[in-house]
Structure 1
């Protein structure tokens, strides 16, 4: 009898071991498979069981959470939702997350292991930490100035600190209230359908996700390439540029909107935006040199994140000379995001150095303890420091004596470049108005702000659209807000 009891006990022990092994397999080895199974709602229930961490601007939360008492308990709320939507994005129980809500989701949802009190603590206990906080570099006054400047127009503004790469403002209009996408009611699905059907595309982040022909603002890049290559060694020397200029290999003539561009100096051509001078300068400089300089500024460099992803700005590298001439003045296939053009302006202001733009200053626990912080990072040197000095001089002339007079600020050194970008079949589309600029206070060692503005207002008369008329006043307001302390 004892023999049978021993066998039964051994068999029961074997079953117990098998049970423990299987439980370990389910709980540890295959846990990810079960967690990610669409039929398993426990992960979603847990995710929304606690308030989401906040996104902060100037130390104040621009997000919040509302306890609904429902199964997916906490819904996201937003303060000044349309103003900060290009920064925060949305966090929806139905449609997921975008922009900072997506890029910093682990911190905000409390799933980032760095939020745990001890290493591997959450893996062992299966506990969930309170959502952390994301402290942005955005300055509320600068953001508000950009949003108010654009008003009801379609367009975007990106503003940077040239010395650090901090993003001071990121605005896209028309905008939307991301709180409309919080929750699971039919109102959420109706809002989603309405926003996606809107021809004005309010959910499109024009500052980060939309590329435009940069028009004459690209002449900063063309001038940098020519000066670095030694094609121009005297800003005031005649350039031997005909007016009009016949595009190489074609019978097409390129003209100017202003007088005095024939054989104009680089200074005059930059100041008054002579297309003929810069088209010829692009051809003379050569495709390789121009494309190389554009790449140093950030064109044709995919993968930029701030931490939200940024669309790649492009400069074609397989063109004939006629196409190269048009590309040199920011037309043909040249495309840029407003953030990219703010980086171009910041590089000129910063001695030719391209700083990595970043939107997050630091992330913290819910108690405010720092989890991770961002520092200044130099991506590359876009041009020689001496070339940057010359371009600062040229951009200052644009504001003090040329097409950018509407951006002038009393007592402040301001450099800028206007642009009017043609687009559409046969250039029949309403031109985009561009302005890029930087501003430096008297006595400061370096500029405090660099900005890019694009306005694509289909309601405006074609003749009324120009970078100096439509975009420069917006840039001025943004720079004034930044200079006043943000």
Structure 2
């Protein structure tokens, strides 16, 4: 009898050892494989067991969470979803995350190590730290002014604070409601199919994810390069420019949309946007100097994050003289995002210095304690301060006497540059209407805002589409929203 008991005990001990070995195999050796297995929903269920942290604009949340009572318990909600979609992106149980919802996902979901004072305790208890909040730099008045200014027209607006690089507005139209994608049911799937099939691409953030030929707004960069290089010494001296201008090495003649461009001064050419003058200036300045100036403004930079990725704006450096002439007036292969062109205007307003743009002011824990702040931003020089001073005068002239009169704001100092960019096969597409500008309040020591507006489908006769008539009023509304006390 004793022997049978001993054998049974030994057998039980062997079973216990086998069980422990198997547990060790599952928990240690194969833990990562099980964790990554698509059939394992524990992390997903845990992720949605608690409300997600919020994205804030001017101290107010523009996001929230709804308790569905299901396994994936909390679903993302949005306040003024289409208005802020180019900032927030979406957080979907089915399709993942984009924009700030993506780059700040760790903090918003509570998974970021910085949020957990005792991470080992969380591992032991299988608990999750409450999600933190993301405080943005967006000015709600400027955001709404940009959105309502575009109305139903395709286009984008970017506005920044020149002295800091803070992004004050980031708007893309047409937009969409991110709440449609939040869940994992039929409604979300139908919305996903519909939005992706829409030829107007409402989920594309045109302000930072699409590049356009900047047209005549790029003449600010060309003027800066020519002035810094000494190609132009006096903005009021004739430039010896023909009208029309035959592109070097070709028989193609470049013309102007305005009169009086032959041998015009730089001031006159800037105010009336003379293509011939700036094409010739670009060729005289040369590829190397044009490249250096364009890149100092931010062109050809593939690493811009705000914190989500910004499509690189490009200035082609492998060009002949004829192509350089066209590149210098914002055509050929020159491409820019609205955010990049807002930074061009900000560099002029900021005395020639470019401050890297940013969208997140700070991040906080659920209780309000600060996790991180934007801190000081890198600064680089785009042009000599004296050149920036001259360009401010030229841009003021555009608003005061030239093609940008519709951007004028009583009691404020406003500078701007219009642009009408051709595109499509044989320039057959509806021209893009551009306007870039900056504004300084009457009692302010420096400019408070720089804006770039692009309108893709201006509702007007092709010959009547212009940056001054179509885009400038939108820029003015944004600038007024920022300048208002």
Normalised to the residue count of structure 1, the TM-score between the two structures is 0.95
For 1:381-392, list aligned pairs within 5 A.
381-392=381-392
CA contact under 8 A between 1:136 and 1:361: conserved in structure 2?
yes
CA contact under 8 A between 2:433 and 2:458: conserved in structure 1?
no
Structure 2 distance, partners of 1:21, 1:241, is 86
Q: Deviations over 1:18-67 (max 9, x none)?
A: 86676456445654432222121111111111111111111111111111
For 1:123-142, list aligned pairs within 5 A.
123-142=123-142
CA gap of 1:23–1:349, structure 2 versus 1, over 3 A, is: farther
1:185 counterpart residue number: 185
Secondary structure at the counterpart of residue 122 of structure 1: helix
Structure 2 distance, partners of 1:187, 1:233, is 63
1:450 counterpart residue number: 450
Structure 1 distance, partners of 2:100, 2:230, is 43
Structure 2 distance, partners of 1:301, 1:96, is 27
Q: Deviations over 1:204-243 (max 9, x none)?
A: 1100101000000000110111111111111101111000
2:98 counterpart residue number: 98
Structure 2 distance, partners of 1:280, 1:13, is 91
2:229 counterpart residue number: 229
1:266 counterpart residue number: 266
In the TM superposition, residue 280 of structure 1 has moved relative to its aligned partner by: 0.3
Q: Deviations over 1:417-457 (max 9, x none)?
A: 00000000111110000000011112322110010000011
In the TM superposition, residue 460 of structure 1 has moved relative to its aligned partner by: 3.1
Q: Is 1:85 aligned to 2:85, yes or no?
A: yes
Structure 1 distance, partners of 2:353, 2:239, is 28
Secondary structure at the counterpart of residue 450 of structure 1: strand
Aligned residues: 485
CA contact under 8 A between 1:207 and 1:339: conserved in structure 2?
yes
In the TM superposition, residue 385 of structure 1 has moved relative to its aligned partner by: 1.4
Q: Structure 1: where are the runs of 5+ without partners?
A: none
1:293 counterpart residue number: 293
Tell me how large the CA RMSD over aligned residues is.
2.2
Q: Is 1:161 aligned to 2:161, yes or no?
A: yes
Secondary structure at the counterpart of residue 157 of structure 1: strand
Structure 2 distance, partners of 1:122, 1:446, is 49
2:425 counterpart residue number: 425
In the TM superposition, residue 484 of structure 1 has moved relative to its aligned partner by: 1.2
Q: Deviations over 1:403-422 (max 9, x none)?
A: 11110111111111000000
Secondary structure at the counterpart of residue 72 of structure 1: coil
1:208 counterpart residue number: 208
Q: Deviations over 1:314-338 (max 9, x none)?
A: 1111011111000000000100000
Normalised to the residue count of structure 2, the TM-score between the two structures is 0.95
2:465 counterpart residue number: 465
For 1:404-415, list aligned pairs within 5 A.
404-415=404-415
CA contact under 8 A between 2:432 and 2:458: conserved in structure 1?
no
Secondary structure at the counterpart of residue 188 of structure 1: helix
Q: Deviations over 1:93-136 (max 9, x none)?
A: 11111101111000111100111123554345442111111111
CA gap of 1:199–1:134, structure 2 versus 1, over 3 A, is: same
Q: Is 1:194 aligned to 2:218, yes or no?
A: no
Q: Is 1:402 aligned to 2:402, yes or no?
A: yes
2:374 counterpart residue number: 374
In the TM superposition, residue 264 of structure 1 has moved relative to its aligned partner by: 0.7
For 1:34-49, list aligned pairs within 5 A.
34-49=34-49
1:144 counterpart residue number: 144
Secondary structure at the counterpart of residue 332 of structure 1: coil
Secondary structure at the counterpart of residue 419 of structure 2: strand
CA contact under 8 A between 1:113 and 1:122: conserved in structure 2?
no
CA gap of 1:158–1:25, structure 2 versus 1, over 3 A, is: farther
Q: Deviations over 1:177-214 (max 9, x none)?
A: 11111112211111111111111111111001010000
